[in-house]
Structure 1
Amino acid sequence: MVDWSCFTRGLCAIFLGLILNSPAHAAEMADRIFLGGPVLTMDDGTPQAEAVAIKDGRILSVGTEAQVLDRKGEDTTIHDLQGRVLLPGFVDSHGHVVMGGLQALSANLLAPPDGEVRDIPGVVDALGVWFENNAEVAQRVNLIAGFGYDQSQLEEGRHPTREDLDQVSTDIPVVVIHQSGHFGVMNSKGLEVVGIDRGSEDPNGGVIRRGEDGEPNGVLEENAFFMALAKLVGGIGPDGFKAFVKAGAGLWASYGYTTAQEGRASPQTTEIVKAFSAEEALPVDIVIYPDVLLDRDFIADNAALSYVNRVRVGGAKLTIDGSPQGFTALRDRPYYDPVGNYPPGYAGYAAATMEQVVSSVDWAFDNDIQLLTHANGEGASDMLLAAIKAATEARGGKDRRPVLIHGQFLREDQVDSLKALDIFPSVFPMHTFYWGDWHREHTVGPVNAENISPTGWIRQRGMKFGTHHDAPVAFPDSMRVLDATVTRRTRSGDILGPSQRVDVMTALKAMTIWPAWQHFEEKEKGSIEVGKLADFVILSANPLTVDPENLDQLRVVETFKDGELVYRADDTGYQGAFPAGTSMAVGREFLEALEESETAGK
């Protein structure tokens, strides 16, 4: 009698052997395995692991070291974390990666700890040093630029003027950009080039500041500045902007971001980013949001959930008001103690009309376009909430994921409305460090300053949120974002709003899985789970175990995009603030790009 059970077992063994040694099974062996340090997955089912295996740019296995080593083949590379911590790559909830490249090309006018400028003579000196080192760049593009001055941190407590900048040059236009990005100052030559004089009228949503004699003093607010800057940088050209894209993407990668955002673009800038990505591999993904008030047809024709050469248009951007620290954000009440020549009861102003806000929201809802809206003051947030409520009631609920950007001065009832209307808040806790003292003393006063960037209120309601750096407003310093969200320490060492603090794991989710959800990418990014993209950041120590007061001292050691190393701390000079010579290097690259373009055109 035949022993069929034995025969069956034998066949099973043969088939099992064939399967285990087949090419299909061999394909499941890892390209690289990460082990030797904690893995913070951001997956609530398995918050921590010991090791991760990746294959073809995706996560193959997550678990104990023994489990993951089952995926080790002859060609597998072992990446020893040496006690450091592995996390999902950071997802940029809001920033301006192209303008970050412009910052790299400009003189660093930031105050400590990101720069050395403390007064207006320091602004002038920094511009002079930059011009001395980059004269060829400045002459080629007919522009001397500086980024990051902040009147709240200058000893004089005021903006520079055209007369101050005329000390740098009277022959070449000089422009300095406020750290908020919502103000700028030009020298006399710059004002001449952009056509601003005594007879110029203030544009809608902007102000040309003037001296007692009625002449423009060089300081431009909001739309007045944006339009003037566009004219000044026109000489840079597409190839110069490509150098900005490259510098910005590299800077984001150096801080552990594997997905960057260009949070307000023109169609022309969008096409430049696309063209660059087709020519040269980007180290990170870039999601672009063109301005909804510029060209809606372009946005509708280009918006997509899939990337081409690591670039996609994610939706549209609307800007309702301006800068809270610069007193141009639209409040629902007067500013507490504004510094400058403001009328009694001054509450800021809108950069967009209510008609424009309603039209933009209705268009986005009708066309299923994700809309990101900049609203800092309570008045601006009221405008947005009213428009979205009306659009939702008229068009029904749908998974559109509209995003509120900043919301610095949100009232608690407005947070309730955000939840009711399914609006994702992308908030700015870094303000507690950079401008917390200023908000307490001048913008909203000591009581309301406690609740700026109200992450505590948001979490009490069980809501997801994103945290951002808004670079180049600040460097895209991921650890500064993490630190500010957890500690809310100001420059002076005060804790601004202890009840609005959140724990470290919540703060990490606001940099990973939640902004991935914001971008409709939660199935691909934001957590370390099998099947997702192998986008990782390795930090110098575990943020869950270090003293929270030292979170800003953590450093990005390596960044991996799709499983490939795109940044190592000892490879570039980008870690921390820009060191001396960085802008010179970018400047040389910029000149090379221009020369290549000119050669190709001959």
Structure 2
Amino acid sequence: MKADVVFINGEVLTVDKHNSRQQAVAVKENVIAAVGTNDDIKSYIGEQTEVIDLEGKSLVPGFIDSHVHLTIYGTNLLGVSCIESHIHSLEDIFTDLRKKAEETPKGEWVRAWGFDQLEINEQRFPTREELDQISTEHPILVIRTCNHMCIANSKALEIANMDEHTPDPEGGIIERDDNGQLTGKLIENAHMQMFKVASYSSEELSISMKLASDAFIKEGITSIHDAGAYGKGSETLRIMQQAVRNKDIRVRVYAIMGSLTNSHDFVHQMVQAGTVTGLGDYYFKLGPVKLFTDGSSTGPTIATRQPYTSDPKNSGIIYYSQEDLDCYLGNAHKKGFQITAHAQGDRSIEMLLDCIEKALKEYPRNDHRHRIEHAGIASPDLQQRMKELEVIPIPNPVFMYVNGDVYKEYYGERINVMYPARDYQEQGIVAAFGSDAPVTFVNPLLGIHAAVNRKSKTGQEVGEQQKVDVLEALRCYTINGAFASFDEERKGSIEAGKLADLVVLSESLLTIDSARIKDLGVELTMVDGQVLFKNEQLMRPSGVRR
């Protein structure tokens, strides 16, 4: 048998159970045909075989982002970005919003994303009145980077039927000033409720999904666990599945059945529909049902057992009572679903573990692989329970790089058990990394960098005892992600018989200085045996021959 593509002279990091290293890989159609030395693989080279000389660079399994918001990432690209290099002040944002409003038909939404009050000169949120000065004929939203808060202008509040008499929704706050007037700031579930009316059209969703998929492939991501979007979850799933079928989405999708808007309604709908986790194929498959239990780590609105270090009167927001959590997720477990929830603070993690423990006692099931999305503050007692219950945490190490400085301010010594990758490794807990993009950067190499170095972007140590070595970080972005979606037999490592999802890096991942991991680039991304991305600026012309 002759291969379609052969990689030679590489640092092949297989991420198999021995973390073995090889030199060469042969690919036939959409499957890895063989892995070994150059001599082992040369017999697979025929006249039509494309041979790629890696020249000592790393070949790794395709990255699996185990918690990312594909639809939100894509729809953000349709709006005003607050993270561009020219944004330094509120006025810079307002200028871009005015331009967007001028080119948008009256009555249609104008949105800005990625806003972080800590990154601009004024160190504050915009006000409703300031957004009204941009336009009162367009509904305007400025969405905080965490996707748990926004500022709305008067037109947006009017469309959402929110005024000074509207009560706060459970798990949310419609902020008012000292005179009882709306400031425009919507927090947690109030923010989520806004997107009942601020949703995107089917056409916009389709366009955005393709944009996001293309962006992910350029970062070396070949599989994602999509963590949900705003609006009607079933409609988003339908459009996503259609986009996969049409090959507008080229990454493999494990669709977490959760919505940022009324997540319990969507969970109930999916449980009643007769579907179950695992339905689908290796291109699109239904994953766990998901609820939101608390808020944002940088809000900060996560639910903690002890008050915030920065605010002794604040312990965050809980979305559901224990009884409701047990009801929604417990029923899903009973029907055979994998279950999970967004749980950042130690209080919310404890509630979710209580729910899982109760469900397993009432309806025992082996190999359930229930998850915790984020598991932000995971103290030792909670880690022990994760191990006993065989729960898979989905931490986000990149948060420590981006947000580490404010975490020290908000949570004090608790940063030592935030996203604790080293503790998970030592206890034998399978943890799979996710970026939570667009909350922060989607780049898996930045996530690996953060897990290996545990330093914030300003260079501060943030829980350095939770550092892991580079191969463990790579496992958390590959084979562990495959395990979290019941796919470890078909992807997540470079082994004969597995799907040919492969990534070529610009240098050796093992020999590069750890402080430079974030500077590595992706030269090539292969999904299902097809090269979908080549960075011609990084690849030498001599690197490919026939």
TM-score norm. by structure 1 comes to: 0.84
1: CA distance between counterparts of 2:8 and 2:112?
Answer: 43
Measured against aligned partners, the alpha-carbon deviations of 1:344-394 in whole angstroms (never above 9, x if no partner) come to 622111012212210123113212211121100111011111111122222
Q: Which amino acid aligns with 2:26?
A: A
* Paired position in structure 2 for 1:9: none
Q: Answer yes or no: is 1:118 the counterpart of 2:88.
A: yes
1:245 maps onto 2:209 in alignment: yes
SS state of the match for residue 249, structure 2? Answer: coil
**1:525-540 map, 5 Å:** 525-540=491-506
Aligned amino acid, residue 344 of structure 2: N
Counterpart CA distance in 2 for 1:516 and 1:244 is 25
What is the rounded CA distance, in whole Å, between the counterparts of 1:248 and 1:452 in structure 2? Answer: 28
Matches of 1:157 and 1:416 in 2, distance apart? 39
Q: Could you say which residue in structure 1 is the equivalent of 2:264?
A: 293
Which string of whole-angstrom CA distances, capped at 9 and with x for unpartnered residues, describes residues 198-244 of structure 1?
Answer: 111111111101122211111101111111123022xx321211111
Match of 2:541 in 1: none
**Is residue 284 from structure 1 mapped to residue 284 from structure 2 by the alignment?**
no
Question: Helix, strand or coil: the match of 2:285?
Answer: strand
Deviation at 1:278, TM superposition (A): 2.8
Q: Does 1:384 align with 2:318?
A: no
SS of alignment partner, residue 272 of structure 1: helix
Cα distance 1:308–1:407, how it changes in 2: closer, same or farther (>3 A)? closer
Matches of 1:188 and 1:323, distance apart in 2: 25
Q: Is the 8 A contact 1:209 1:219 kept in 2?
A: yes
Alignment equivalent of 1:348, drawn from 302, 306, 316 = 316
CA drift of 1:141 comes to 7.4
Q: 2:472 pairs with 506, 510, 519, which one?
A: 506
CA offsets, 1:271-297, max 9 Å, x none?
111222233443211111122612434
Segments of 5+ residues of structure 2 without an aligned counterpart are: 539-546
Deviation of the 1:319 alpha carbon: 1.1
**1:557 counterpart SS class:** strand
Aligned match of 1:67:
40
Report the count of equivalent residues: 529
Which residue is 1:38 aligned to? Answer: 11
Distance 1:46 1:507, change over 3 A: closer
Q: Which moved more, 1:281-290 or 1:211-220?
A: 281-290
Partner of 2:305: 332
Q: What does residue range 222-233 of structure 1 map to in structure 2 within 5 Å?
A: 222-233=188-199
Residue 264 (structure 1) shift = 2.2
Q: Which residue of 2 aligns with 1:274?
A: 241
**Other structure's SS at 2:11 match:** strand
Structure 1's consecutive aligned runs of 4 or more residues displaced over 4 angstroms after TM superposition are: 129-132
Q: Which residue of structure 2 aligns with residue 143 of structure 1? A: 109
2:10 match: secondary structure: strand
More helix per residue: 1
Residue in structure 1 matched with residue 454 of structure 2 by the alignment: 488
Distance 1:309 1:507, change over 3 A: closer
Gaps of 5+ in 1: 1-27, 339-343, 573-602
Aligned residue number for residue 532 of structure 2: 566
2:209–2:248 Cα contact (<8 Å) kept: no
CA RMSD of aligned residues (A): 2.0
Q: Please give the TM-score of this superposition, normalised by the length of structure 2.
A: 0.93
Deviation at 1:469, TM superposition (A): 0.8
Q: Deviations over 1:110-133 (max 9, x none)?
A: 2xxx7443332232233334446x
CA distance 1:141–1:426, shift in 2 (3 Å)? farther
Q: Return the alpha-carbon distance in structure 2 between the equivalents of residues 541 and 159 of structure 1.
A: 41
Take 2:375 and 2:87, find their aligned partners in 1: how far apart are those partners?
A: 28
Give 2:374's aligned residue.
406
Aligned counterparts of 1:523 and 1:229: Cα–Cα separation in 2: 39
CA separation in 2, counterparts of 1:140 and 1:83?
56
Q: CA offset at residue 46 of structure 1?
A: 5.8
Greater mean alpha carbon deviation, residues 291-300 or residues 174-183: 291-300
Matched, 1:516 2:487: no
Q: Where does residue 469 of structure 1 map in the other structure?
A: 435
Shift of 1:270: 0.4
Is structure 2 residue 61 aligned with structure 1 residue 88?
yes
Paired residue for 1:101, among 74, 85, 89? 74
Task: Assess, with a 3 A threshold, how the Cα gap between structure 1 residues 519 and 140 changes in structure 2: closer, same or farther.
Answer: farther
Provide the C-alpha distance between the structure 2 equivalents of 1:387 and 1:98, rounded to a whole number of angstroms: 29
**Letter matched to residue 270 of structure 2:** F
- Paired residues of 2:101 and 2:138 also in contact (CA < 8 A): no
| Residue in structure 2 matched with residue 455 of structure 1 by the alignment | 421
Query: Is the contact between residue 11 and residue 59 of structure 2 (CA under 8 Å) also seen in structure 1?
Result: yes
Q: Distance in 1 between matches of 2:216 and 2:482?
A: 16
CA drift of 1:334 comes to 1.0
Moved more, 150-159 or 29-38: 150-159
Contact 1:277 1:309 in 2 (8 A): no
CA distance 1:304–1:384, shift in 2 (3 Å): closer
Query: Does the CA-based 8 Å contact 1:124-1:167 persist in structure 2?
Result: no
Contact 1:466 1:511 in 2 (8 A): yes
Shift of 1:164: 2.5
Partner SS state of residue 211, structure 2: helix
Q: What is the alpha-carbon distance in structure 2 between the residues aligned to residue 97 and residue 513 of structure 1?
A: 21
Alignment-mate amino acid for residue 252 of structure 2: D
**How many angstroms apart in 2 are the aligned matches of 1:261 and 1:301?**
21
**Residue 365 of structure 1 aligns with which residue?**
333
The Cα offsets for residues 7-52 of structure 1, whole Å up to 9 and x where unpaired, read as xxxxxxxxxxxxxxxxxxxxx2211111132111101336111110
Letter in 1 for 2:378: L
Whether 1:416 and 2:416 are equivalent positions in the alignment is no
Query: Are 1:193 and 2:164 matched, yes or no?
Result: no
Task: Note the alpha carbon deviations across 1:139-163, whole angstroms, 9 max, x for none.
Answer: 2870111111112333333222212
Partner of 1:303: 276
Q: CA deviation at 1:306?
A: 5.7
Amino acid at match of 2:202: P
What are the superposed Cα offsets for residues 490-547 of structure 1, whole Å, 9 maximum, x if unpaired?
A: 1221111111111100000000001110010001110000000000111111121100
Answering whether residue 174 of structure 2 is matched by residue 211 of structure 1, we say no
Could you tell me how far apart the structure 2 residues matched to 1:439 and 1:121 are? Answer: 28
Structure 1 Cα separation of the partners of residues 19 and 294 of structure 2: 42
Structure 1 residue 463: Cα displacement: 1.9
Counterpart of 2:222, as a letter, is T
- Displacement of 1:106 in angstroms is 1.6
Distance 1:468 1:167 in 2: 39
**2:139 and 2:155 in contact (8 A); partners too:** yes
- Report the equivalent of 1:49: 22
What percent of counterpart residues are identical? 30
Does the 8 Å contact 2:75/2:204 carry over to 1?
no
AA of the residue aligned to 2:96: A
Report the 3-state secondary structure (helix = DSSP H, G, I; strand = E; otherwise coil) of the residue aligned with 2:91: helix
Question: Contact 1:281–1:309 (CA<8 Å) still a contact in 2?
Answer: no
